[in-house]
Amino acid sequence: MMVTGLFSVTGDNVKIIGVMLILLGIAGVVYGGFTFTSQKKAVDMGPLQINKTEHHSVPIPPIIGLAGIIGGGALFYFGMKENR
Q: What is the mean pLDDT of the chain?
A: 86
Q: How far is CA 83 from CA 3, 13, 29, 71, in A?
A: 15, 11, 30, 19
**According to the model, what pLDDT value does residue 12 have?**
83
d(CA 1, CA 8): 9
Q: Is the pLDDT of residue 9 over 90?
A: no
* Residue 29, pLDDT score: 93
Task: Render pLDDT for 33-45 as a digit per residue (tens, 0 to 9).
Answer: 989 999 998 888 8
- Report the pLDDT value the prediction gives residue 18, as an integer from 0 to 100: 94
**Closest alpha carbon to 18 in 63, 69, 81:** 69
- CA 51/CA 53 separation, integer angstroms: 7
Prediction pTM value = 0.67
